[in-house]
């Protein structure tokens, strides 16, 4: 049997070269190949981009705070942070640097500690523009805790710990965050978050987008974010996905890689050059597991949708903007902007135009197949940028009431429902950010409460654009009463006609942007923490204000939190009957039920134990499949509702 040190030396010897094709310019560039090019993104729309980190960046005379942050960084601290994930035997790690002078090293070395000594794993070129370096280690042993460090020769280093996969823990914790405005009293610090997150000690961090609000200067924005959160990111897996502000747009409908006509983005596509977009995605997402289908979209822009398994919880990571149709020119304008609807008489179905995209066929196919593959998983979660509904009434100020905001995933409605059906089929919970208003919603697809739960985290710093849940009649919704101290819970339709059930919301107290900036403790900014208990199959949603003291317990959370629900509640369809009981020869197989009249997969789940009586939602006959990790074996056909026992001796 190999010793731990032997195993570590094995992965050190089997490190592969990095694969960056989807994220790089047309020709691979190390930091100095184009160092003297002050316009690496072109001289039209790209001329002003990242000017504080390109060309002779040390002479840049723009914004004083930005220039100081970039130019006065101590040279022994130019490695800002590192982020990593590992799954399926592959470790991927990105390290982010401040801009370097021409006489400074252009490579970064990754080292691991083996038997108390640092051993070299790999050396990689720094990629410019963007100043990032990337490492891929094959044959990773995820049972071991390993210290690592990244070094810029003898000038600077940054260190952390690669955690083992927490597969033996009953409860897996994820911290979920987004919307990190720089308009804050402590620009380069987030100490209150670091303190609480260290207390919670989550197994994984999820940053859902808008890590940077500095549209034309992503390298500055991501370095600012990285310095703020480096101390919590260095020691655990991190999922980071960019949203509209990260790529330099106020809103973003990707149109599969089209070209937008303004930074408003409402005609669909990307406004800034693809080389800028690829730099953003490289710096934020390269360390994620390899993309499910890496085929680039238009303009050669890459994709990163994938899944990551942590401790028996399987996280699907999707890009809910990249393929989405823009509203401008596709539906009538019914408000001050193409994406804002204020006319209460408008026909909700009229904006759900055939041919409009939300996730796109590729990602729907990914979710469909991911939902049936339970290898290494007991529970499933979908992560994305924004919410599948419009759970907001007041936007920006309390005087600005919108009926519908087409920036959310509630539009187009057909795409929303198709996505939620895939989430429901595998009993997944949805986590997201973007909305600047934290809510817990149970989606309705065909009926109220028949879909999955969704938790939108609050903004980390909510000084840019406050939002409020504030029904115009100031009354609770319909349906069975929600047990909550909050008044406006229950069944509602959003402004697009989507059925939602509100369970909790965290409104800011100030009434406009000026008051948001001045009332630091009342902005309703903060973070989410979600606990997935694999043993009980219970999910706990927590929502912590920014300046809470987590050590004092749940009384510090926003009113209405925490909330618990069973994984099974992510499928809220009315059960009309049960098939006979299936008995298996081994524990916890994966079972799938198919409605024969339509061929629809009703659900695929990993059961607990050796017995399972499948629930169904109507009359008819059903096919049942099962397997260890996938429903690969037919175990029953033309089965009807009824009693009895079917013994499955082998599959």
CA atoms of 216 and 272, how far apart (whole Å)? 9
User: What's the predicted TM-score (pTM) here?
Assistant: 0.95
Decide: residue 8, CB within 10 A, 0-12 exposed, 13-18 middle, 19+ buried.
buried
Beta-carbon contacts of 554 under 8 Å, excluding residues fewer than 6 positions away, are: 542, 561, 562
List b or e across 633-651, with b for residues whose CB sees 16 or more CB atoms inside 10 angstroms.
Answer: bebbeebebeeeeeebeeb
CA nearest neighbour of 252 among 321, 319, 320: 321
Length of the chain in terms of residues written: 651
Task: Give the dihedral of Cα atoms 178, 182, 184, 189; nearest 10 deg.
Answer: 80
CA 521 to chain centre: 26
CA nearest neighbour of 140 among 289, 356, 325, 354: 289
- Give the pLDDT of residue 428: 99
- Give the pLDDT of residue 538: 98
Site of tokens 């606990």: 531
CA nearest neighbour of 223 among 192, 252, 187: 187
- Name the stretches of the chain with pLDDT < 70: 1-36, 510-513
Contact 433, 210 (CB under 8 A): yes
pLDDT tens profile 343-368: 999 999 999 999 999 999 999 999 99
Three-point CA angle 354, 383, 293, nearest 5°: 70
Q: How are beta strands 204-207 and 238-240 bridged, if at all?
A: parallel
Three-point CA angle 625, 630, 633, nearest 5°: 35
């Amino acid at each position: 049997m190999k010793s731990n040190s032997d195993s570590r030396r094995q992965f050190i010897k089997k490190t592969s070269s990095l694969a960056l094709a989807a994220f790089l310019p047309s020709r691979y560039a190390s930091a100095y190949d184009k160092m003297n090019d002050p316009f690496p993104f072109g001289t039209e729309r790209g001329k002003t981009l990242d000017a504080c980190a390109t060309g002779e960046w040390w002479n840049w005379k723009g914004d004083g705070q930005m220039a100081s942050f970039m130019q006065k960084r101590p040279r022994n601290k130019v490695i800002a942070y590192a982020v990593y994930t590992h799954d399926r035997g592959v470790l991927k790690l990105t390290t982010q640097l401040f801009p370097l002078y021409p006489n400074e090293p252009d490579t970064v070395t990754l080292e691991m500690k083996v038997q108390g000594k640092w051993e070299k794993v790999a050396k990689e070129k720094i990629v410019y523009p963007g100043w990032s370096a990337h490492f891929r280690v094959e044959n990773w042993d995820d049972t071991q805790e390993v210290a690592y460090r990244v070094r810029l020769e003898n000038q600077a280093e940054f260190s952390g710990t690669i955690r083992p996969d927490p597969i033996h823990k009953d409860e897996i914790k994820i911290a979920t965050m987004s919307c990190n405005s720089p308009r804050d009293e402590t620009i380069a610090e987030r100490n209150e978050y670091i303190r609480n997150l260290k207390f919670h000690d989550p197994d994984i961090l999820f940053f859902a987008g808008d890590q940077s609000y500095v549209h034309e200067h992503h390298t500055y924005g991501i370095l600012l974010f990285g310095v703020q959160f480096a101390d919590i990111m260095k020691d655990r897996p991190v999922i980071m996905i960019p949203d509209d502000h990260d790529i330099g747009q106020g809103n973003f409908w990707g149109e599969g890689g089209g070209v937008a006509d303004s930074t408003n983005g409402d005609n669909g596509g990307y406004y800034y050059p693809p080389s800028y977009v690829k730099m953003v995605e490289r710096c934020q997402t390269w360390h994620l597991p390899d993309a499910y289908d890496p085929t680039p979209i238009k303009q050669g822009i890459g994709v990163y949708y994938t899944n990551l398994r942590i401790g028996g919880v399987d996280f699907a990571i999707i890009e809910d903007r990249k393929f989405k149709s823009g509203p401008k020119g596709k539906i009538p304008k019914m408000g001050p902007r193409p994406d804002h609807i204020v006319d209460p008489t408008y026909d909700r179905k009229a904006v759900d135009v055939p041919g409009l995209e939300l996730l796109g066929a590729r990602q729907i196919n990914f979710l469909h197949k991911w939902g049936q593959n339970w290898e290494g998983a007991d529970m499933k979660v979908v992560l994305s940028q924004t919410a599948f509904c419009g759970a907001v009434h007041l936007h920006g100020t309390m005087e600005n009431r919108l009926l519908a905001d087409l920036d959310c995933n509630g539009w187009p409605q057909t795409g929303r429902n198709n996505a939620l059906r895939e989430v429901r089929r595998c009993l997944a919970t949805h986590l997201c950010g973007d909305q600047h208003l934290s809510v817990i919603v149970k989606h309705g697809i065909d009926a109220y409460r028949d879909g999955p739960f969704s938790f939108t985290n609050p903004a980390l710093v909510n000084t840019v654009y406050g939002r409020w849940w504030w029904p115009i009649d100031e009354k609770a919704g319909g349906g069975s009463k929600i047990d909550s101290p909050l008044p406006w819970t229950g069944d509602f339709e959003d402004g697009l006609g989507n059925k939602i059930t509100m369970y909790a919301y965290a409104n800011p107290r100030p009434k406009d942007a000026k008051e948001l900036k001045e009332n630091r403790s009342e902005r309703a900014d903060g973070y989410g923490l979600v606990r997935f208990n694999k043993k009980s199959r219970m999910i706990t949603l927590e929502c912590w204000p920014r300046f809470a003291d987590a050590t004092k317990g749940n009384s510090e959370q926003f009113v209405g939190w925490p909330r618990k629900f069973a994984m099974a509640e992510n499928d809220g369809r009315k059960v009309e009957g049960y098939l006979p009981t299936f008995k298996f020869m081994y524990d916890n197989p994966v079972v799938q039920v198919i409605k024969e009249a339509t061929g629809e997969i009703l659900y695929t789940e990993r059961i607990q134990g050796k017995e399972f009586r499948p629930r169904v939602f109507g009359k008819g006959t059903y096919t049942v499949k099962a397997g260890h990790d996938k429903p690969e074996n037919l175990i029953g056909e033309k089965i009807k509702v009824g009693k009895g026992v079917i013994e499955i001796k082998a599959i």
